[in-house]
Structure 1
Amino acid sequence: MNAKDPITVLPTDTAVSQRAARELLSSIEQAQRSFGVASVVLTGGTIGIQVLRDVRAFVENGFTEADFSKVEFWFGDERFVARASDERNEKQAREALLDHVGVPEDRIHAMGAAGEFETVEEAAEAYARELTAHAAADSTLPRFDVLLLGMGPDGHIASLFPGTGLIDAQGLTTAVRDSPKPPPERVSLTRSTISSAREVWLVVTGEGKADPVAAAFAGEPADVVPAGAVAGVESTRWFLDEAAHSKAAERGA
């Protein structure tokens, strides 16, 4: 967390989700004007999927000029379970948004599933190859215009959990075998890949997130609060409701 990072605090989780959705659509429009095609990294979790539902509602009501046939969608992490599992971020994102707004299938870059890869390590390596195959010029990664993150009550982001050393994982992706939150096996982008995005947005709501938000703002070590250890190249933005911001507010942050 940098003291200059933009912080948006709104009264409720609904207000946070809707603001993030509106601003995501605006960012997609801007990226399409600049580059022709926008590139967005999605997150799961309650608030992450609600943002996608709100994006869909805005699209269906004609409140955007974004062209979803020209958006590349990536994922920040994924549970290593069967493709059809309701636990997969991909399935939830499809149901909330992707299957309803005309995104071409080849622009949805899903992480590998159990049953399609023998091990979670193989799935992580395959996603790293997918990233490299779509890399921007002079890079091993695609251009990410906006990378969305939620945060757990322990301060984790993507599937980089505190106290595990995963925040220091090398390479483009990492396999997770002993996640403290089930299921135990996951694939995640690494800290360096996350921080390659032009903008990193952390969308966090609820009183249960207040302590790690305050700790991130206070600059606690990366392996204690991974959420405070990532930063976008151009901007790192926090979207918080008052409950999640409450402890940081008490400290004047």
Structure 2
Amino acid sequence: MSPDDPESNYRMANEVMLSKLPIPAEHVHRTPADQSDRDAASLAYTQEMKRAFGTDDVPQFDLIQLGMGPEGHTASLFPHQGSLREQQRLVMPVSVPKPPPDRLTFTPRLINAASHILFLVTGAEKDEAVAAVLEGEQQPDEYPAQIVHPIRGEVTWMLDTAAAGKLRKQK
């Protein structure tokens, strides 16, 4: 998908944040999800991240900001998808049940290497999934957001009142 497509995460991030900050263009690394060979695109993006981070290992982001869908998906990690169990790749192509169906996603291996993960979740349509993810039994195949457990980092959840509506433990 093109970077200016209405469904593009890059377009949204650029409009609400990146274009408003003094970030040099060479420091913005958009995933090349619009390439027809998504396997090649995922490998190229992995190499670009390793180059930018100066590592041959798993890059460690200072911060990864995630959302969560009403069925508990995060990034483009959807319930019952093989990407949830990926152990080698850092970025991979996926086909998901939400438009646009063909995407690239960070894998749990890359996400969980981050120093800090920030979930921003809003809306009453997500309240049941929020409660299941945060207070329910561990079922990451059903609720992919549960797969987020940074190895040496921390997770912060920011919820609006509607998304937090079904939580039993009010903090």
Q: Does 1:172 align with 2:90?
A: yes
Post-superposition CA distance 1:89-109 (Å, at most 9, x none): 112222222122221011001
The question of whether the paired residues in 1 share the 8 Å contact of 2:66 and 2:118 is answered with yes
The match for 1:98 is: 18
Tell me the SS of whatever aligns to 2:158. strand
The match for 1:21 is: none
Q: Distance in 2 between matches of 1:142 and 1:240?
A: 28
Q: Does 1:86 align with 2:3?
A: no
The match for 2:121 is: 204
The question of whether the paired residues in 1 share the 8 Å contact of 2:113 and 2:153 is answered with no
Q: Distance in 2 between matches of 1:222 and 1:141?
A: 22
Post-superposition CA distance 1:188-214 (Å, at most 9, x none): 000110010001111111111111111
Q: Which residue, 24, 27, 30 being the options, matches 1:110?
A: 30
Tell me the SS of whatever aligns to 1:188. strand
Q: 1:110 to 1:211 in 2, by over 3 A?
A: same
Q: 1:83 to 1:204 in 2, by over 3 A?
A: closer
Structure 2: runs of 5 or more not aligned: none
Q: Distance in 2 between matches of 1:173 and 1:125?
A: 7
The question of whether the paired residues in 2 share the 8 Å contact of 1:136 and 1:143 is answered with no
Q: 1:205 to 1:83 in 2, by over 3 A?
A: closer
The match for 1:6 is: none
The match for 1:124 is: 42
The question of whether the paired residues in 2 share the 8 Å contact of 1:156 and 1:226 is answered with yes
Q: More relative contact order in 1 or in 2 (CA 8 Å, sep 6+)?
A: 1
Aligned-pair CA distance for 1:252: 6.5
Q: Which residue, 217, 220, 231 being the options, matches 2:138?
A: 220
Structure 1: runs of 5 or more not aligned: 1-80
The match for 2:167 is: 248
Tell me the SS of whatever aligns to 1:123. helix
Identity %: 34
Q: 1:160 to 1:113 in 2, by over 3 A?
A: closer
Post-superposition CA distance 1:64-104 (Å, at most 9, x none): xxxxxxxxxxxxxxxxx123323221122222221222210
More helix by share: 1
Q: Distance in 2 between matches of 1:100 and 1:135?
A: 24
Tell me the SS of whatever aligns to 2:159. strand
Alignment of 1:146-185 (within 5 A): 146-170=63-87, 171-176=89-94, 178-185=95-102
User: Which residue identity lines up with residue 119 of structure 1 in the other structure?
Assistant: D
RMSD (Å) for aligned C-alpha atoms: 1.8
Tell me the SS of whatever aligns to 2:133. helix
The question of whether the paired residues in 2 share the 8 Å contact of 1:201 and 1:238 is answered with yes
Q: Does 1:229 align with 2:144?
A: no
Q: Which structure 1 residue ranges, 4+ long, deviate > 4 Å from structure 2?
A: none
Count of aligned residue pairs for this structure pair:
168
Tell me the SS of whatever aligns to 1:148. strand
Q: Distance in 2 between matches of 1:153 and 1:219?
A: 17
Tell me the SS of whatever aligns to 1:126. helix
The match for 1:142 is: 59
